[in-house]
Amino acid sequence: MNEMQVTAKNSLSVGNSLFVFSLNHHQVSLDDREKLALDETALVELNDAVAKLDSVAEFMCLKTCNRFELYASGLTERCVEEVWEVFRRFYSVPEQKLKEIVDSKHSAQMIQHLFEVCSGVDSQMIGETEILGQVKRSFEDSRSTGKIGGAFNRIFPKAFQAAKWVRTNTLIGQGQVSIGNVAVDLAQRIFGDLTQRKVLVIGAGEVARLTAQSLVSRSVESVTFTSRTEANAKDLADEFTASTLPFSSILKELHQFDILIASTSAPHAIIDKKSLKRAMRKRSYEPLFIIDLAMPRDIEPQAGKIAQVFLYDLDDVSGIANENLKNRTLEIEHCKQVLSARSWATWLDVMRRSMTKSLRDSIENSALPETDSSDLKR
């Protein structure tokens, strides 16, 4: 009888003690997130400590740039408190303060939170796709080390499905929101495939570096760096295994490049309309895509009027990124509604399975002595 009760309690408690402790960008500033970030050793220790708790049925830690989360499912009502006790030991902030900044969610809300995380709805960069891969990796790691049991095996795949659905059927991932990706998007609208395109980066600033990085990730044929300070261009070239060009040769070699990223701190334009027109003649008016991220501008604005020159300045690119971000933000509510319905259905499914299992276990346990006695009679 006692054994029967324990089994029933175990099964029912699966649904009751699903929870997540989340330290994320909503509650914690970047500075604080840096201070609170757990290193690899601490992470292993936390995993080991939680694994030792008898009240925990399954758990998973998720660590990304903007969040640290601990998802768990308990066998007893005390599970939440016990995990919290372990969790707080790893942070050197007063418990009250930690309680304020840790976002904890339980039961159906935990599932909805997971769905929103996977879909990029909860991300700082709304609609980003990287998070899904990170959750999947964490899930696989935890599963391979035996930390995942029955309930998470239902919930997480459902979360991945919901994320895929949201990306396909809503506008949450539409349009690029970083300058680098906006530049890639525009370049693809002009050239299509970028694998045969040559890029020249003028200047060695951070924005130019990030934009170059986005283009390199699309496998452009080559990237060349040039800067007034040759050493800076050399550093970037080393980083991207690219080549350099003397700053004085820009105008002479301009016609060889299809994409131009300019972001120097020069006080005046370094490429005028006349030089650009000459370069365009040399390249037989093949399209030239220019992103001028400098302030003041590096390219004479009139150069944009030359045929086949597609010139975008910082305002243009930022405007596009902001517009896309606005559209994504408008889509959040719609996504949350959809995810809420799906997470609720998953919650009910987990509960139903949990109750069915406990009922089956009860019947089996109560039937067992009778079977034994009948066997004895025979």
Partner 1 sequence: MNLSLYWLAFSCFAAAFVLHLYFLKNKNYLSRRFSLPIMGTGFALLTIFMYSRGSAVGACPIGNPFEIIVFIFWTSLLIYLLVALFFSVNYLGFFSAGMIAVAMVLVRLFPALDYAYGEGHINSSAIVGMHASLAVFSYGVFALLSVLGIMYLVQFYGLSKRRTGSFFTFLPSLTQLEHLQTWVLSTGLFLLTLSLFVGSFIYLYDLGEVPHYKLSFTVLVWLMYFVFLVLRLLKRLFSSKYAWSVIIGFLVALLALIPVDRARQDLAPHGESEIMG
Q: Would you name the residues annotated as active-site residues?
A: 65
H helices present in 200-241, as ranges: 206-217, 230-239
Identify whether the C-beta of residue 252 lies closer than 8 Å to the C-beta of residue 275.
no
- The residue behind tokens 């006349």 is 274
Tell me if 93 contacts partner 1 by CB under 8 A: no
Cβ distance to partner 1 smaller for residue 153 or 337: 337
Among 127, 206, 225, 114, smallest CA distance to 172 is for: 127
- Residue in 365, 342, 344 with CA at minimum distance from that of residue 10: 365
| Residue 233 or 290 with smaller CB distance to partner 1 | 290
Out of 213, 243, 285, 371, the only residue in the binding site for partner 1 (CB under 8 A) is 285
Q: Which residues contact 124 (CB under 8 A, 6 or more apart)?
A: 25, 66
Closest to partner 1 by CB, 35 or 189: 189
Specify the amino acid at residue 53: L
Q: What angle do CA 57, 58, 62 make, to 5 degrees?
A: 155
| Of residues 151-180, those binding partner 1 (CB under 8 A) | 169, 171, 174-175
Pattern 184-223, partner 1, x by CB under 8 A: -xx-xxxxx-------------------------------
Instruction: Show contacts with partner 1 in window 298-327 (CB under 8 A).
Output: 307-308, 310, 312, 316, 319-320, 323-324
Least distance CB 167 / partner 1 (angstroms):
11
Q: Is there binding between residue 257 and partner 1 (CB under 8 A)?
A: no
**Interface with partner 1 includes 333 (CB under 8 A)?**
no
Q: Which is nearer to partner 1, 53 or 317 (CB)?
A: 317
Of 318, 317, 315, 331, the C-alpha closest to 126 is 331
- Residue 128 binding partner 1, by CB under 8 A: no
Please state whether 266 falls in left (phi above 0), alpha (psi between -120 and 50) or beta. beta
**If we measure between CA atoms, which residue out of 10, 18, 90 comes closest to residue 48?**
90
Contact residues toward partner 1 (CB under 8 A) are 169, 171, 174-175, 185-186, 188-192, 284-287, 307-308, 310, 312, 316, 319-320, 323-324
